[in-house]
Amino acid sequence: MSATLKRVGIWLGLPVALVTVWWFASAGSTDFFRPSLQRIVQAFRETWLGPRFVEEVLPSLARLAVGYVLAVILGVVIGVAIGLSVRTRALTEPVLEFLRAIPPPILVPVIMLFAGIENTMKVIVIVFGCIWPILLNTVEGVRATDEVLTDTCQVYGVKPLRHLVLQSASPQIMTGARQALAIGIILMVISEMVAANNGLGFTIVQFQRGFQIPEMWSGVLLLGLIGVALAGLFHLAERRVLVWYHGSRDADRR
Amino acid sequence: MLIVDRLSKVYDAHGRRVEALADITFSVAEGEFACVVGPSGCGKTTLLRCLAGLLSPTSGTATVHGKLAVVFQEYGRSLFPWLRVRDNVGLPLKDLSKRERQAKVEGALEAVGLTDAAGAYPWQLSGGMQQRVAIARAIAYGPRVLLMDEPFAAVDAQTRADLEDLIRDVWHRLGVTLLFITHDIDESVYLGQRVIVLSSAPSRVAENIKIDLPDERDQLTTRGDARFVELRARIYAHIQKAKRGSTS
């Protein structure tokens, strides 16, 4: 118990210190563009803890969820297909390198042309940005499948795809998925900043244009909090899925 | 039963032709325990992979009558690290009902003395215990023929002696046909009813030696037996001859 408390303390220590400094340094600020933290927190409460949460935040999160899940599914399926065959890998590598090199935000105006500015466009942008780390990591993970385990599957009539390939690639798949999550949040906001009629990115830009500065800052704060919360959820999920992986790595180190 | 008929394997990698197995012919009778020994690099593992159907021979055939199970040398890499011991043993039995599977898994773990470790992950166990899990998996599978590829090469000497006795015990209990590949001459004499000596690569069967030791064996008396020492010396001489034959 005390160990957990200590960890929470270490984890929260710096953020609490920074917020405290910010709070007192900005207290009583009369600068229009840099309002006091107290003012921002007040704006946060008024802005986000109400109908706006449903109208602006949930649509953003829903698009992120759909795009992210699609990217994970597509990335794993395509990654496994490519990783299993040496020939496919050689064939697809140059194309993948090219596609991966395109910065996804540049696709927002392009995709707008045929997918409009509604949800479809934003989901496509998120999928396109998130898929690469997942796909490429899956390919690497599948490639590294142990030969002895492959032989074992063959001798004992065990279906290798489900029982071996996906499992043994799961640490790499999770690494890719973690990277993709951060990219997904960025693209969620960017796609809304360029063209949208709701969503977090859209609302923050609206505040900025309307000189509602404390509200704008509170939106930035909210994005940061969402990022931390999603990373925390991911960490919990990863710990469950990869119990064996972390355990065996610790066992090797001993 | 296991029949190997004029088996040969030639690797053709990057223009370099490597002849691993020249012409191997032998058979192992139903219920027999045979060991294969040979100098290092004589293609023992190639032979096993051909027998297990993991590698197709260049010519000749390897026929296994009945269900086959294999215990690999690299125990650490042949168990699934994401599965607990009981699921590792039960994985090849997916077609059975849950109840039957459970019974077989429990029986097999009991046979190798690992009942207590059923809930552990393989990487939580010592090397010798991991190899026991691999043996339990082979037992649970219910094979007619069991192939073992230097299964004890990577464990310490005492564990090794225990595992050798365990294998004799398993063989007696299951009545399987057992082919045990090793580079250790003592081990081959101690374990089997017959020792097949391979020559250096490209390997052939250099000699087929019947081990006429009593069926009841134990580490102390059997290894001290005059007949044991004699057989070991004979096999050693054959291997030395086989080595010289290939270098000259």
pLDDT class of B248 with cuts at 50, 70, 90: very low
CB contact under 8 A, B82 and A149: no
CATH topology of domain B29-54+145-248: Rossmann fold (3.40.50)
* Vertex B105 angle, CA B99 and B107, to 5°: 105
- Residue A233 is part of which domain span? 37-253
What is the per-residue pLDDT across B205-242, written as a single tens digit (0 to 9) for each? 888 999 999 888 888 889 889 999 999 999 999 888 87
| Separation between Cα atoms, residue B231 and residue B224, nearest integer Å | 12
Query: Does A156 contact B123 at a Cβ distance shorter than 8 Å?
Result: no
B232-237: long-range pairs with CB below 8 Å, 24+: B232/B185, B232/B186, B232/B189, B234/B209, B235/B37, B235/B185, B235/B188, B235/B189, B235/B195, B235/B197, B235/B207, B235/B209, B236/B185
- Tell me the torsion sign for CA atoms B229, B187, B177, B214: positive
- Residue A100 placed within a domain: yes
Mark yes or no for CB contact B54/A251 under 8 Å. no
In the prediction, which pLDDT does A3 show?
A: 84
* Residue among A148, A163, A244 minimizing CB distance to B72: A148
Candidate from A29-33, B8-12, B40-44, B210-214 with smallest mean pLDDT: B40-44
Euclidean distance between CA atoms B197 and A79, whole angstroms? 46
Backbone CA torsion sign across A203, A209, A215, A216:
positive
Q: Which CATH number is A59's domain given?
A: 1.10.3720.10
Is A31 an 8 Å CB contact of chain B? Answer: no
Residues in chain B: 248
CA of A213: how far to CAs of A23, A32, A225, in Å?
A: 17, 7, 19
Distance CA A121, CA A115 (A): 5
The model carries a pTM of: 0.86
The residue extents of the domains of chain B are: 29-54+145-248, 79-142
Domain count, chain A: 1
ipTM of the complex: 0.88
B chain contacts of residue A252, beta-carbon cutoff 8 Å: 123
Asked if B74 lies within 8 A of A251 by C-beta distance, the reply is no
- Closest by CA to B170, choosing from B226, B219, B107, B120, is B107
| CA distance linking residue A48 with residue A42, whole number of Å | 10
Residues A114-126: pLDDT tens digits? 888 888 999 999 9
CA distance A16 to A25: 14
Compute the count of residue pairs across chains A and B with CB atoms less than 8 Å apart.
57
pLDDT tens-digit series, residues B192-203 = 999 999 988 788
DSSP state of B41: T
